[in-house]
């Protein structure tokens, strides 16, 4: 826990804007060199069991004992521990906001001082590291990925109807949607209701369209408020979303059903006989909300493809998602560094992949370790994408990302114009 570690910086180590700056190092964590490394994360229950199983062989081979602490309210607790000088050696952040805040205060070690940054960047889904970047340096690396840009469909009924299972563009999807409507079925199913959190499903949709219509550079500017929330490029994304999903006949039940249906139940109408809709865009987590009979036979019953790019927008396949990011509080402990190297590598996660409910952020991860064909399909999608971006609302200030943006999406679904909605959201952005 004393300064003294040296490393190869990919960024200027004397950059005064970086969280630590100069040659200083994060000096938190537990006792150095005691053969034990403490990790704090939000995983509990079966996820905790799978995490520890994925570390078991590493512990045996390295001789390092892992002390894992499960803390559901990690973002709050870790701030308190940082103030008290009582941080774990490593923390697994479910969103990057709290990580970046503590990095800015000098509590977290930049990864370029102890990881092979170039090799990591090459192995990961392109763009994943950007979520943990602060003033030119990256302070964390992902160890678990969530994918949101997935379109699920009822495999048997869909293939019987003869619809394209791999549309190459949003424009092609609109053509297929026209066929579905002509055949008497709404293309989309969707549900936004989540009690006080209602609206977040809609924010994901806007993020998808900003990525596809405007591209990742504009997306980053939007997240950082370098462009206004009501910038014409953002309004264009709102309008494209409306045309694709909210227009009359596009979604089962219309606006009333969208706003009153719980997000976890919204995929169910796909599996009615006959289906009440054919497409459901959501994250891979929605598979845990499938009707029991469907979930028990997911590989036979459910198909999936990636939400494709726009012909008039970004020239590449983007993907939206999230993940858990590992960050090092103890920059002086060689054992903690060894754990970080393993946690953030494509060698980590085999037992978790077999258990299910986990996806590697590495395109080079051995997909044969996944237990289901569905997960292998999702992994194949991830391996082929051109750019990844973290959920924008999770990166924006809370007053926007989980307040005015959510409320704005509900208003937009009810018919308020994109110009009015985005202007109100922009006005809610906290002053710096």
Q: How far apart are the first and last CA of the chain?
A: 34
Q: Which of 43, 42, 50 is nearest to 355 (CA)?
A: 50
Residue 40 has pLDDT above 70, yes or no: yes
Ranges of H-type helices in 105-199:
117-123, 155-161, 170-182
Is the pLDDT assigned to residue 326 strictly greater than 60? yes
> Is the pLDDT at 84 greater than 60, yes or no?
yes
Between strands 133-134 and 150-154, the pairing is unpaired
- What is the pTM for the complete model shown? 0.87
Q: Give the lowest-confidence range in 129-133, 202-206, 420-424.
A: 129-133
Mean pLDDT of the region 336-357: 96
3-state percent helix, strand, coil for the chain, nearest multiple of 5 = 45, 15, 40
CATH number assigned to the domain covering 150-317+399-427: 3.40.190.10
According to the model, what pLDDT value does residue 3 have? 33
**For residue 17, what pLDDT is reported?**
42
Q: Is 355:102 a contact under the CB 8 Å cutoff? A: no
pLDDT (tens digit, 9 = 90+) per residue, 295-308?
Answer: 999 999 999 999 99
Q: Are 406 and 394 in contact (CB under 8 A)?
A: no
Query: Would you say 121 and 152 are in contact if contact means Cβ atoms under 8 Å apart?
Result: no
Q: What is the mean pLDDT of residues 318-341?
A: 96
Q: What is the pLDDT of residue 67?
A: 98
Q: pLDDT (tens digit, 9 = 90+) per residue, 244-269?
A: 999 999 999 999 999 999 999 999 99
Is pLDDT at 21 greater than 70 in this prediction?
Answer: no
Categorize the per-residue pLDDT at 39 as very low, low, confident or very high, splitting at 50, 70 and 90.
very high
pLDDT at 18 over 90: no
Mean pLDDT value of segment 371-375: 92
Query: Residue 58: its pLDDT value, please?
Result: 98
DSSP codes, 343-386? HTSTTTTHHHHHHSS---SBTTS-GGGSSSHHHHHHHHHHHH-S
Strands (DSSP E) contained in 123-244 are: 133-134, 137-138, 141-147, 150-154, 186-188
SS3 of 197, please? Answer: coil
What does the pLDDT read at residue 22?
38
| DSSP, residue by residue, 41-102 | ES--HHHHHHHHHHHHHHHHHH-PEEEEEE-TTHHHHHHHHHHHT---SEEEESSHHHHHHH
Residue in the block written with tokens 């045996």 = 60
At 9, the pLDDT band (50, 70, 90 cuts) reads very low
State whether residue 131 is helix, strand or coil.
Answer: helix
Distance of alpha carbon 38 from alpha carbon 78, whole angstroms: 13
pLDDT at residue number 189: 97
Instruction: Share the mean pLDDT of the chain.
Output: 92
> Cβ distance 28 to 36 under 8 Å?
no
Polymer length in residues for the chain: 432
Instruction: Answer for the pair 90, 108: CB distance below 8 angstroms, yes or no.
Output: no
CATH of domain 36-147+321-379: 3.40.190.10
pLDDT single digits (tens) 277-299: 999 999 999 998 999 999 999 99
**Start-end ranges of CATH 3.40.190.10 in the chain?**
36-147+321-379, 150-317+399-427
Gyration radius (Cα) of the chain, Å: 22
CA dihedral 371, 372, 375, 381 (to 10 degrees): 110
- pLDDT level of residue 25 (50, 70, 90 thresholds): confident
As beta bridge partners, residue 327 has 91
**Which pLDDT tens digit goes with each residue over 192-209?**
999 999 999 999 999 999
Cβ atoms 87, 29 nearer than 8 A:
yes
- Higher pLDDT pick, 17 / 137: 137
Whole-number pLDDT of residue 252? 98
Tokens 């537990």, residue?
Answer: 30
| Mean pLDDT calculated for residue range 310-323 | 95
| pLDDT digit string, tens, across residues 157-190 | 999 999 999 999 999 999 999 999 999 999 999 9
Residue 336 dihedral angles phi and psi, to the nearest 5°: -65, -35
């Amino acid at each position: 826990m004393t300064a003294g570690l040296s490393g190869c910086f990919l960024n200027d180590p004397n950059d005064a804007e970086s969280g630590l700056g100069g040659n200083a190092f994060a000096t938190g964590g537990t006792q150095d060199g005691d053969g034990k490394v403490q990790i704090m994360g939000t995983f509990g229950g079966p996820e905790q069991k799978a995490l520890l199983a994925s570390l078991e062989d590493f512990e045996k081979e390295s001789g390092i004992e892992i002390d894992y602490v499960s803390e559901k309210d990690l973002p709050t607790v870790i701030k308190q521990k940082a103030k008290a000088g009582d941080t774990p050696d490593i923390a697994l952040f479910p969103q990057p906001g709290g990580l970046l805040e503590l990095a800015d205060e000098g509590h977290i070690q930049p990864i370029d001082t102890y990881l092979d940054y170039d090799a990591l960047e090459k192995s990961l889904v392109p763009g994943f590291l950007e979520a943990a970047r602060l003033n030119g340096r990256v302070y964390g690396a992902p160890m678990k990925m969530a994918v949101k840009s997935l379109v699920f469909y009822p495999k048997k009924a869909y293939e019987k109807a003869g619809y394209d299972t791999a549309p190459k563009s949003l424009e092609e999807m609109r053509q297929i949607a026209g066929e579905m409507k002509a055949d008497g079925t709404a293309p989309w199913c969707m549900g936004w209701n989540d009690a006080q959190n209602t609206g977040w499903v809609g924010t994901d949709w806007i993020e998808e369209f900003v990525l596809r219509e405007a591209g990742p550079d504009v997306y980053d500017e939007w997240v950082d408020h370098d462009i206004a929330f009501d910038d014409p490029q953002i309004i264009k994304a709102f309008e494209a979303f409306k045309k694709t999903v909210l227009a009359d006949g596009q979604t089962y039940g219309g606006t009333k059903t969208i706003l009153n249906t719980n997000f976890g139940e919204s995929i169910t109408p796909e599996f009615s006989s006959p289906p009440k809709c054919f497409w459901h865009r959501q994250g891979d987590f929605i598979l845990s909300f499938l009707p029991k009979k469907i979930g028990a036979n997911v590989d036979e019953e459910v198909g999936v493809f990636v939400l494709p790019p726009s012909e008039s927008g970004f020239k590449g396949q983007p993907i939206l998602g999230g993940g858990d990011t590992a960050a090092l509080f103890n920059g002086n402990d060689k054992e903690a560094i060894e754990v970080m190297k393993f946690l953030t590598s494509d060698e980590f996660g085999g037992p978790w992949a077999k258990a299910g409910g986990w996806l590697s952020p590495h395109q080079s991860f051995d997909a044969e370790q996944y237990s289901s064909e569905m997960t292998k399909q999702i992994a194949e999608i991830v391996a082929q994408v051109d750019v990844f971006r973290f959920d924008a609302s999770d990166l924006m200030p809370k007053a926007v990302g989980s307040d005015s943006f959510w409320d704005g999406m509900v208003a937009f679904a009810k018919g308020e114009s994109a110009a009015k909605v985005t202007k109100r959201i922009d006005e809610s952005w906290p002053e710096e």
